[in-house]
A and B are shown apart, each in its own frame.
Chain A
Amino acid sequence: MSSTARDRIFARLHAARTTVSPYVPQGGTWQAPMLDKAQRIELLKKRMETVRSEVHVLPEAEWPAKLAELLKAREATTLTYGHDAWFGGTLRSKIKGKGMPKLVPYGENVEAFRDELFGIDVGITSTLGGIAENGTLIVWPTPQEPRLLSLVPTVHVALLKADTIYSTLAEAMREMRWAENMPTNALLISGPSKTADIEMTLAFGVHGPKELIVLVLE
């Protein structure tokens, strides 16, 4: 039945061709400004902070200490991550001991892990980059770092290498060759989950993370 529906739809679409020869205006006139590296970091931080993300810019070597401090302040008891992510080894060696959460690698399929995952406090992920123009992280989940790491835990911590911050979305798409490489799921993330559905009053953490913490590594 749906194949004949398809035929009839396409017959009408093609017929419309013969009755209308549409005018198409010229596009390609708008571009967000290109920035230098310092400006990119600064703008990304500013944009993300306005939507209540917490952004720390720090030398790369310092992230484990910073993370430990953030986890302690939140009294996190569980942290999930991708075992084979680039930072996995460091995480295991530095985040341990008293006051530190239990590390739970996302090592199984979601069907087996789902119930545990929904109770975890913190998820940490890498990012492929950031975009200054709109203050977003580019997150392409992988077998090593599954999609729900950045969604289900109450807090999402993202590690962003400062060199990978682009000025604009268009630039990121071009440079990263999105058109040839689209992954299963490509995400832009600008902040914690939020809603303003009740009286336009902004509230955070409605379904996804209540907090987004970005560590920008220089």
Chain B
Amino acid sequence: MGSQHLDFTANVTEALADRQLRANFKSALTGLMKKRVAVLPDAAERERMRDDAEAAKRKALAKLPELLERLERKCTENGIIVHWAETTAEANEIILGIMRSHDATKLVKGKSMVSEEMHLNHFLETHGMEALETDLGEFIIQLNHEPPSHIIVPAVHKNRQQVGRIFADNLEGIPYTDVVEELNAIARKTLREKFRTGHVGLSGVNFAVAETGTLVLVENEGNGRMCTTVPPVHVAVMGLEKVVESLSDLPPLLRLLTASATGQLVTTYVNCITSPRKDGERDGPKEIHLVILDNGRSRMLADAQLRRTLQCIRCGTCLNHCPVYIRIGGHAYGSVYPGPIGKILTPQIDGLADKGVLATASSLCNACEEVCPVRIPIPGIIRRMRTEAYDEKGDGVVKGHGAKKNLLETLVWKGWELTYRIPALNRFVVSMLGRFGDKLPNVGPLKAWTSVRTAPRFAPKSLHQLAKEEGIRHE
């Protein structure tokens, strides 16, 4: 499913035509942007936090193999069983194996983007297991058989009426309502029953602390705590970039994660898990498994620019601030990770042949880079994806590099180079455009431009000429 063919243009056309969708996104995301600023009012302090958060993540990446080894050692000492998966298929098999070894058939899931990356639910269902999303947003879209459209607020594309219909159509004995309180109450009742009876709980990991072997999870609803406390077995899944060195790295990361994600100072719960139930303790899982997934991440580490993709803490604020995402929403990207982070992460995981097009969906406005709490140079990496897609020099490293290489574009840009590198040629071309530019045939790029704009005009005399005529010194 990850490398399914993506018809981005068709998705965009469809998304842009859906007025309800655009309205839902615009109002929700505008609200999130305002809340972020409200909770980080002091720009100087915010930049200091970003300094620290960026430093913590870059430090962790610089020592990644040692920290992962340390995390594994600490977790093992604490009684957490660590598994390694190179691919999502391996990770899925590991989880299936754990469930089978406990004769478990019911999995209750807290929110985890890595499990989305693995398409775990689908995989488990094909093996006769029930995998139930318990985060309210995830629950809503799972009922409606949709993927999340946002990495923090997965059902942001739905309004209350749509949620009401989804509940009424899919849950037994539930009449339609569009009162948010009532919808929440329905979810509470349905899901608490599932927590009580679930066999295995699954969660993601926000930060894994190597120093102590601790898994840190942040959440507001309490479903994460339910999934990691009530069932007898807890399975945590994480990308290998989630490790940080020590507890003292956490305060700025936690503060910025919640501020950026939901405009909160702190979430309702910060849940730090260090071991399974110990002797004498009355609750908590008796067994904890940690599945650490690579899926292309270790390859990113080998490049000084691309490795910065791994700094991401999945706060989603780059989505909220992206003028493209705001308009087309998450589903159009046809990928687990949409928005700016998706434009750099997805092509690296799934390859440029299938997903390289995502990197063209950016005006390089830099809004994402301006807000990213860990200062990932997203626009620079988007440019890199574009460069790798053509791979002119033949030194590309991203999966599928050179996939977009074609003679026409190569020639166009060669011609462009000559025009702007050779002054005499430049003068000639500009003067030709000044004379005949308004007679250009309305095809290709010009046609795309003029679908909503008048054609560009060319001045009869260029600035070069005017400056010369006015006697502006030229050297």
User: Is there any pair of Cβ atoms, one from A and one from B, under 8 angstroms apart in the complex?
Assistant: yes
Is B299 interfacial (CB-CB < 8 Å)? yes
Is B11 interfacial (CB-CB < 8 Å)? no
Check B55–A27 contact: CB distance below 8 A. yes
Check A188–B269 contact: CB distance below 8 A. yes
Kindly name the residue among B196, B262, B283 whose own CB sees the greatest number of chain A CB atoms within 10 A: B283
Quick check: which of A58-66, A88-96, A121-129, A144-152 contacts chain B, the rest being far away? A144-152
Give every chain B residue within 8 A of A189 (Cβ-Cβ): 268-269
Check A208–B84 contact: CB distance below 8 A. no
Is B90 interfacial (CB-CB < 8 Å)? yes
Check A179–B211 contact: CB distance below 8 A. yes
Is B419 interfacial (CB-CB < 8 Å)? no
Main secondary structure of the interface of A (DSSP, over half): loop
Q: Which residue of B lies closest to A106 (CB)?
A: B282
Is A114 interfacial (CB-CB < 8 Å)? yes
Q: Which of B214-236 contact A (CB under 8 A)?
A: 214, 220-223, 225-226, 229-230, 232
Distance in Å: Cβ of A137 to nearest Cβ of chain B: 10
Q: Which residue of B lies closest to A173 (CB)?
A: B247
Known contacts A179-B212, A203-B180, A207-B223; is A20 also within 8 Å of B304 by CB?
Answer: yes
Roughly how many angstroms separate A164 CA and B96 CA in the complex, as a whole number? 44
Roughly how many angstroms separate A200 CA and B229 CA in the complex, as a whole number? 27
Give every chain A residue within 8 A of B284 (Cβ-Cβ): 110, 141, 146-147, 184-185
Q: Which of B184-241 contact A (CB under 8 A)?
A: 184, 187-188, 191-192, 195-196, 211-214, 220-223, 225-226, 229-230, 232, 240
Distance in Å: Cβ of B394 to nearest Cβ of chain A: 18
Q: Which of A162-197 contact B (CB under 8 A)?
A: 168-170, 173-174, 178-179, 182-197
Quick check: which of A5-13, A34-42, A68-76 contacts chain B, the rest being far away? A5-13
Roughly how many angstroms separate A51 CA and B192 CA in the complex, as a whole number? 23
B394-406 vs A, CB cutoff 8 Å, 1 = contact: the mask equals 0000000000000
Roughly how many angstroms separate A8 CA and B298 CA in the complex, as a whole number? 10
Distance in Å: Cβ of A176 to nearest Cβ of chain B: 11
State how many residues of chain A have any CB contact under 8 Å with chain B.
Answer: 81
Check B65–A151 contact: CB distance below 8 A. no
Distance in Å: Cβ of A136 to nearest Cβ of chain B: 6
Q: Which of B27-41 contact A (CB under 8 A)?
A: 27-28, 31-32
B39-71 vs A, CB cutoff 8 Å, 1 = contact: the mask equals 000000100110110111011011011001100
Known contacts A9-B240, A19-B302; is A2 also within 8 Å of B51 by CB?
Answer: no
Known contacts A2-B84, A188-B269; is A29 also within 8 Å of B51 by CB?
Answer: yes
Q: Which residue of A lies closest to B249 (CB)?
A: A27
Check A135–B265 contact: CB distance below 8 A. yes
Roughly how many angstroms separate A108 CA and B280 CA in the complex, as a whole number? 10
Distance in Å: Cβ of B70 to nearest Cβ of chain A: 13
B residues sitting closer than 8 Å to A (CB atoms) are 24, 27-28, 31-32, 45, 48-49, 51-52, 54-56, 58-59, 61-62, 64-65, 68-69, 83-86, 90, 94, 134-137, 140, 153-156, 158-160, 163, 180-181, 183-184, 187-188, 191-192, 195-196, 211-214, 220-223, 225-226, 229-230, 232, 240, 246-252, 254-255, 262, 264-278, 280-284, 294, 298-299, 301-304, 307
A residues sitting closer than 8 Å to B (CB atoms) are 1-3, 5-6, 8-10, 12-17, 19-20, 22-30, 32, 47, 51, 106-111, 113-115, 118, 134-136, 141-143, 146-148, 151, 168-170, 173-174, 178-179, 182-201, 203, 205-209
Knowing that A26-B51, A200-B153 touch, tell me 9 more A-B residue pairs with CB under 8 angstroms. A20-B304, A22-B304, A187-B269, A189-B269, A193-B220, A193-B222, A194-B268, A197-B135, A207-B188
